[in-house]
Amino acid sequence: MTKKTIIVCTLLFGATQANAQVDSLKIGLDFRTRAELDNGQKTLIAEGKYAETTVLSRARMNMDYSYQNLQLYFSIQDARTWGENASTASKNQNFVLNEAWAKYQFTPKVAFKIGRQMLSYDDERLIGGLDWAMQGRSFDAAKGIFNFNKNSKLEAVLTYNNDDNDANDSAENEIYDIVDGGEKAKSLQILHYQFQNAKKFQFSSILLNSVVQNTPTGTYYDMLTMGVNAKKYFENFGIFGSAYYQTGKNTNAQSKSAYQFSINADFIISKKFNAVLGTEWLSGGDYDTQSTDNKSFSPFYGTNHKFNGYMDYFFVGNHFNSYGLNDYYLKTTTKFNPKSSLIVNLHAFTTNGKLANEQSSYLGTEADLVFVHKFSKMFVMNAGHSFMFAGTSMEALKAVNTPKNTQSWSWIQFNFVPSFRLK
């Protein structure tokens, strides 16, 4: 019997045995498969190269168990790219314990949560679950939750990385690392305050300190991000946005001074159509910025696929610590019926910092189309197609001298998400 089979059977057996004494026991399943045709995703595809097809999948099972003031949550998953393992593979490194945490409610206003868990705040610009990626994102963390009243709460989070980059350590003591955008984190400390009321107003503030680590020396530095996120809706109009500032030092000991700003207007034309007009600015360095300084905003552990175009040209790939980005966009959603909708997004991209040799700041324009159809609550299909119309400065930044005339990306995804309650 394989390790995967043993774990699954153990969870199911435990759920059956516990059913007689728990207040609540829920089982959730998440099966998804996505096929992608890459003809210029993340970076420009050069002349002479063929489009590539990739199929990805995820199988996830979670169990949510509650008894009195205690809540236990487990999530196991297998995330893979089709064909990466032989049909007779003896090991499966894609199978992981995605989440495993315990939460205890000391009082109606105070709770403590510890273990492997997803961290998601606001619109996930700084830190989120990264659900687009099959593997998702979770952290080993301890969290304190303080509910002041029904409208406001404060959360305090601490993570720790056992990898101390000590050359004297054996390989088994180099446990894991947290790397995103080139910043290896020793620890994260988060304070997040959230307020919302019945008048469709939301406000939050965050203080995120990332203790980053210089890989060659093992030296630690603090990189602090602070900011706010707000949203207000009226009858047929909404306005929302965010603003963040980063200071401290990065892994290269450069002094950090960077910002992010976004503002959006949501026009609800009818029950079937709305349009969001907005912009986001992420600071970046100039061609002549001093080597001791870093002006490039780092989105850290955000769900970056949600922002700056679905083709992921920025911050998912090699755009960290670069010239930054100004994104001007129009996003529309058309609901044909309760089950079907069409998303059409247009983005125009420019660099935030100045390029050398008086190069144009214009990077390109992207068009994204996504069709969503809900066959049922348990079965959803998504299909998308995107185009990137790149400028010459994009070619220089991506180091592709002779790109294809057409840069595109197509995909289709099937989600099966059944859930049931045992008690």
Other Cβ atoms within 10 Å of 170 Cβ, number? 7
Residue 173 has pLDDT above 80, yes or no: no
pLDDT of residue 266: 97
Pull the structure tokens for residue 45.
């595809």
- Who's near 321: CB < 8 A, 6+ residues apart? 181, 182, 250, 285, 294, 296, 298
How far apart are the C-alpha atoms of 187 and 139, rounded to whole Å? Answer: 11
Residue 284 has pLDDT above 50, yes or no: yes
Q: Are 126 and 206 in contact (CB under 8 A)?
A: yes
How many CA atoms does the CB half-sphere of 126 hold within 13 Å? 30
Q: What is the pLDDT of residues 194-239, one digit of tens each?
A: 999 878 899 999 999 998 877 677 788 899 999 999 999 998 999 9
**Residue 252 maps to which CATH number?**
2.40.160.100
Q: What is the pLDDT of residues 64-118, one digit of tens each?
A: 999 999 999 999 999 999 988 877 766 666 788 899 999 999 999 999 999 999 9
Q: Is 255 exposed, middle or buried (0-12, 13-18, 19+ CB in 10 A)?
A: middle
C-alpha 395 chain-centroid distance: 26
Name the band, by pLDDT with cuts 50, 70 and 90, for residue 1. Answer: very low
Number of domains present in the structure of the chain: 1
Reduce the DSSP state of residue 341 to 3 states and report it: strand
Q: What is the pLDDT of residues 299-328, one digit of tens each?
A: 888 899 999 999 999 987 667 778 999 999
User: What is the secondary structure of 143-199 as a DSSP string?
Assistant: EEEEEEETTEEEEEEEE-------TTS-GGG----EEETTEEEEEEEEEEEEEE-TT
Portion of the chain with pLDDT greater than 70, in percent:
87
User: What is the secondary structure of 304-332 as a DSSP string?
Assistant: GGGSS-TT--SSSSS-TTSS-EEEEEEEE
pTM for the full predicted model: 0.88
Domain housing 157: 3-421
Mean pLDDT of the chain: 88
Q: Are 408 and 388 in contact (CB under 8 A)?
A: yes
Nearest Cα to Cα of residue 157 among 122, 119, 102, 127: 119
Q: What is the pLDDT of residues 232-275, one digit of tens each?
A: 999 899 999 999 999 999 888 889 999 999 999 999 999 999 99
